[in-house]
């Protein structure tokens, strides 16, 4: 099953983040809790962790993109 990873809210007042660096590539295998991407809020840099185990099948945002909470950032194939 292919799952979309959705950007969760990073804090009470954070509605969007900037993508600083992808820590995985398409084809990489990840476990639950592995860091996928490093993002920046208005105050801190944070690694977004994988909520699923599987193979990264697509990256939906690029480095430098401004991403809103609730937006898909990548897909993971759990198969």
In tens, the pLDDT along 13-44 reads 778 999 999 999 999 999 999 999 999 998 89
Q: How many domains does the chain have?
A: 1
For residue 17, give its domain range: 2-73
Residue 19 lies in a domain: yes
Residue 9 lies in a domain: yes
Q: Rounded to an integer, what distance in angstroms lies between the CA atom of residue 38 and that of residue 47?
A: 4
Residue 78 lies in a domain: no
Residue 79 lies in a domain: no
Task: Residue 32: give its domain's CATH number.
Answer: 2.40.50.100
Tell me what the pLDDT averaged over the chain comes to.
95
pTM of the shown model: 0.91
pLDDT confidence tier of residue 79, bands split at 50, 70 and 90: confident
CA-wise closest residue to 76 among 17, 32, 23, 21: 32
Residue 41 lies in a domain: yes
**Residue 52, pLDDT score:** 96
């Amino acid at each position: 099953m292919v799952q979309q990873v959705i950007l969760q809210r990073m804090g009470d007042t954070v509605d969007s983040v900037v993508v600083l660096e992808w820590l995985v590539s398409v084809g990489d295998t990840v476990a639950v809790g592995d860091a996928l991407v490093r993002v920046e809020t208005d105050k801190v840099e944070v690694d977004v962790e994988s909520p699923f185990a599987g193979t990264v099948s697509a990256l939906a945002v690029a480095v430098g993109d401004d991403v809103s909470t609730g937006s898909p950032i990548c897909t993971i194939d759990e198969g």
